[in-house]
Structure 1
């Protein structure tokens, strides 16, 4: 048999007809050979790729567009099985675009001629606008979810610095790579050096950074630092206009103007921060401080359309919590200063009388109460001791407590019985307009007659510790209504009180506990005994250590005694 002749090679591919169909298409179109090299691109694809058609021909896609993530493996599958496929690609072409990264959707079909695979036909359309819209929708959804959770995570306490830190932690990394919260320095309880003229001084209350930023808090300005800003700094402009200030892609001039010190400017540059939004924290038009949002590295610049709107809404909500915390802190500081001045160590009425006192608030974060005590000297070797507790907490309670203390000193006359002093004190309180009731225990000690005369206006009974006795005993006595209630009915009870006997007085915070009968609580105090040192201060420390650990209210305690060895039989 004659040998078979080899098959003739396929005829060259005629592009003329295909080009005619593709040339006028508004979509980008390309012909690729079986090696995925360009055979033809139409004018629309030239514009999309940003280079002329001649620069495409004979080259594979990855050579022409190295920064586009083309799935060449999928294109080879189309060549192999002939099944059309769609591919979404993204990246950067040679065409100028303000959008940065762009996205395309392409459909590829296998091209055959007389049963011979000739290559691929690609139809490419840019979908950047659709993708950006989708990303914007997703970003908006995430921001709405962020706002939904803000109220649960910001303002959980009435501590201003804690609230500031909660705000900073909340926005990182959801909204920024780093965040700062600056507030005005407090004008109560702090001595802050006055800044130079024209300089705005703020206190940094919080700092939060993303884990990807290695930030030195000391160089950045950590919580507690005072920062000075020039009049044209972003913080100063934000506070003066009560509007956000956006600074994207900060240059050296803008950075040096807006950062308080050159060292902090260097710290910002060292971590690649390039965009800052400064948002006012204001309530009813009154500024409380500013929230600073910072982005760096590959993070996008801030946009007015979304980022700043969300930041401002977060700042508006947080400012309400900060204002509550600021007012609370202001009131708490004033109340503490007032109470501290009123609860200074009582004056010793006589060299033979020893006095010790303590005051312990229930919690550093709680408003101070109206606990008070006093020791007033009387004639003929006697002295009056008072322990009281104004109902309520805060500045009003502290002010009412000062009124009670002052009125008591005015109405306590030398020869007046304790019950009569309470009656006059109650009458004077009602006339003075003090609108807070108070309990009060009075004790008049006569060191010559060795007696103690007691009267109570709703207050708990005292404990006596006699010399040599193994434990104390609670005095059983009549108790009248609290002061300020408009009622009276007080009774004086007399008990022995010789030399060396300790009179221990206290407010209810020492003993009252939820779910426990008050008589049981008071009875525990009978376990008190004089420490080996014999010091009154040690006795008070013992009482606080044993009974104040789980206290739910402020505690005031007072211990007094007449020294032993004093001649009691005469007044000489």
Structure 2
């Protein structure tokens, strides 16, 4: 809706009646109204030259009439000529202040632009309240964005924070984790005005990590809507000239307010975003780069629905850029942590691989389940060593600590075990030698370990433990926890290990495992082990099926620790 023109008959008659009632000249009354309004007002003509500014405008901006009247406005906001051209009100900045722009019409003909700024006696109080509200929003953003070390969760929290309070649609695009830092290049804070940087920049692949859009219940106004998740678009490429591509190229926010349908198609970054934008009826866009350590790692694109506002103001942009800046630091920390976890996981898988080859008289099956990037990669490990006289040594261990260092120490334990086992010592003496060798290494981490020596010729298992959970012996009807004397963890240098012997039968399967299989936060270990003892699985079927059944019955849905399993059984000999 356009503002009433200065020549509107109803306005004119009201002003004439008011001047008659007040017994003052009508023009003098109009001058007094303009001069004493608690709102800062200025008028530009059709050539964007200063023609009028009231006293509150002068007080708020410090602009002197003698210095500007009759002169062209310096660097007017791009919204000003657009308002003059199409008559649609817009917001922007003018004379260093947030401003609203409206086309001034006299006798239904456009004659200039009306510029309105906040002003008057309450300006300082209003500015203080805005500052307080800004800090409150920044504090709320810090609390709600980055609650985990999962990058996708952080992106989803950022999108949800923006909708619906700041936008009807929010998109968060990030670089894939495996993208080299140099590929994105440094963030640009001062773009070259003579170059179209986003067209020259290589079109990187981005991953749409989060999408949130405003959804209103049936019959409700859009303003009462809440945020709703939408499927992310996977890998995207930003079209050149879009606000998203420009924000990344320039390293600063890019705003496009009250755009047409054709402009929307060019300014949204890709077809999926365009479809979502049209579905939400948006016409105002803001793209803010997510920059950390001087490099762009993502971009937040926001859109407002037609009729919901006059556009993103400079105050909006400044606030959202501050929120995005804090979110970028949190996201960068989560991404670096995820990269570290992925590296540790890949290293652990590469080092763990498959255990050594047992004697043909022994069947083996193993499993390793990482806890995932939302937790921490542990140092779970297992190994088998083939020994003389048809014997095979099985080992299951868990290095204390997490991450790359634990995975490296895990490899050290495996190689040292193979070295000591070659001496053909009984299990408790192997643990003693292993403990002494690891204790000599200054930075080595302690580890729990259980050894099981299979001796099919003598039909016996010989077992020894260094602080590890007891092995489980499975038959077709029962699961028995084998009581093994427990010594201190390896690497402490204390020693003191003992061994025990139990029967090795063809209808039994021995299960070695790490604590991630049974332990639960806040639960007594006896309760955890009782759950394993209650397990009833057929011990005579394929060992792989036995392990799958064990994991299905015992592994927690959201594992907080890695799980390693190793199952062994005497191989049936053909009669």
Normalised TM-score (structure 2): 0.68
Which residue is equivalent to 2:313?
A: 303
The question of whether the paired residues in 1 share the 8 Å contact of 2:342 and 2:373 is answered with no
Q: Report how far residue 333 of structure 1 moved.
A: 2.2
Secondary structure at 1:393 match in 2: coil
> Partners in 2 of 1:522 and 1:461 — Cα distance?
9
Q: Provide closer, same or farther for how the CA distance between residues 281 and 499 of structure 1 changes in structure 2, counting only shifts above 3 A.
A: same
Does 2:221 match 1:211?
A: no
- 1:380 counterpart (389, 393, 418): 389
Worse-superposed segment, 127-136 or 519-528? 127-136
The question of whether the paired residues in 2 share the 8 Å contact of 1:282 and 1:316 is answered with yes
**CA-to-aligned-CA distance 1:357-390 (integer Å, 9 cap, x gap):** 2334456732222222122222221111000011
Alignment of 1:24-103 (within 5 A): 26-28=28-30, 94-95=105-106, 98-99=113-114
Does 2:306 match 1:315?
A: no
The question of whether the paired residues in 2 share the 8 Å contact of 1:335 and 1:395 is answered with yes
Q: Report how far residue 440 of structure 1 moved.
A: 0.6
> Partners in 2 of 1:488 and 1:464 — Cα distance?
26
Worse-superposed segment, 426-435 or 555-564? 426-435
Larger Cα Rg: Structure 1 or Structure 2? 1
Q: Provide closer, same or farther for how the CA distance between residues 439 and 224 of structure 1 changes in structure 2, counting only shifts above 3 A.
A: farther
Which residue is equivalent to 1:74?
A: none
Does 2:495 match 1:476?
A: no
Secondary structure at 1:186 match in 2: coil
> Partners in 2 of 1:146 and 1:519 — Cα distance?
48
Which residue is equivalent to 1:458?
A: 467
Which residue is equivalent to 2:339?
A: 330
The question of whether the paired residues in 2 share the 8 Å contact of 1:348 and 1:354 is answered with no
Which residue is equivalent to 1:389?
A: 398
Alignment of 1:521-560 (within 5 A): 521-522=528-529, 525-531=532-538, 534-549=541-556, 553-560=561-568
Q: Provide closer, same or farther for how the CA distance between residues 26 and 135 of structure 1 changes in structure 2, counting only shifts above 3 A.
A: farther
Which residue is equivalent to 1:493?
A: 500
Q: Provide closer, same or farther for how the CA distance between residues 129 and 416 of structure 1 changes in structure 2, counting only shifts above 3 A.
A: same
Normalised TM-score (structure 1): 0.69
The question of whether the paired residues in 2 share the 8 Å contact of 1:464 and 1:503 is answered with yes
Does 2:174 match 1:183?
A: yes
Does 2:304 match 1:290?
A: no
- 1:562 counterpart (551, 555, 570): 570
- 2:148 counterpart (149, 157, 167): 157
Q: Provide closer, same or farther for how the CA distance between residues 211 and 546 of structure 1 changes in structure 2, counting only shifts above 3 A.
A: closer
Worse-superposed segment, 310-319 or 202-211? 202-211
The question of whether the paired residues in 1 share the 8 Å contact of 2:284 and 2:306 is answered with no
> Partners in 1 of 2:268 and 2:114 — Cα distance?
30
- 1:22 counterpart (21, 24, 29): 24
Secondary structure at 1:484 match in 2: coil
> Partners in 2 of 1:402 and 1:243 — Cα distance?
46
**CA-to-aligned-CA distance 1:336-373 (integer Å, 9 cap, x gap):** 33333344443541333111223344567322222221
> Partners in 1 of 2:372 and 2:381 — Cα distance?
17
Worse-superposed segment, 174-183 or 270-279? 270-279
> Partners in 2 of 1:329 and 1:176 — Cα distance?
29
Which residue is equivalent to 2:48?
A: none
The question of whether the paired residues in 2 share the 8 Å contact of 1:200 and 1:236 is answered with no
Q: Provide closer, same or farther for how the CA distance between residues 228 and 521 of structure 1 changes in structure 2, counting only shifts above 3 A.
A: closer
Q: CA RMSD in A?
A: 4.3
- 2:430 counterpart (421, 432, 451): 421
Secondary structure at 1:531 match in 2: coil
The question of whether the paired residues in 2 share the 8 Å contact of 1:200 and 1:230 is answered with no
> Partners in 1 of 2:387 and 2:550 — Cα distance?
29
Which residue is equivalent to 2:362?
A: 353
Q: Report how far residue 436 of structure 1 moved.
A: 1.7
> Partners in 2 of 1:336 and 1:415 — Cα distance?
32
**CA-to-aligned-CA distance 1:232-283 (integer Å, 9 cap, x gap):** 5543443344322233345789656644446755764675533322212122
After TM superposition, where is structure 1 displaced by more than 6 Å over at least 4 residues in a row?
134-138, 251-254
Worse-superposed segment, 135-144 or 394-403? 135-144
The question of whether the paired residues in 1 share the 8 Å contact of 2:244 and 2:268 is answered with no
Q: Provide closer, same or farther for how the CA distance between residues 493 and 29 of structure 1 changes in structure 2, counting only shifts above 3 A.
A: closer
Secondary structure at 1:337 match in 2: helix
Worse-superposed segment, 131-140 or 350-359? 131-140
Which residue is equivalent to 2:160?
A: 169
Q: Gapped runs of 5+ residues in structure 2?
A: 1-16, 44-101, 184-199, 217-221, 224-228
Q: Report how far residue 512 of structure 1 moved.
A: 3.3
Which residue is equivalent to 1:9?
A: none
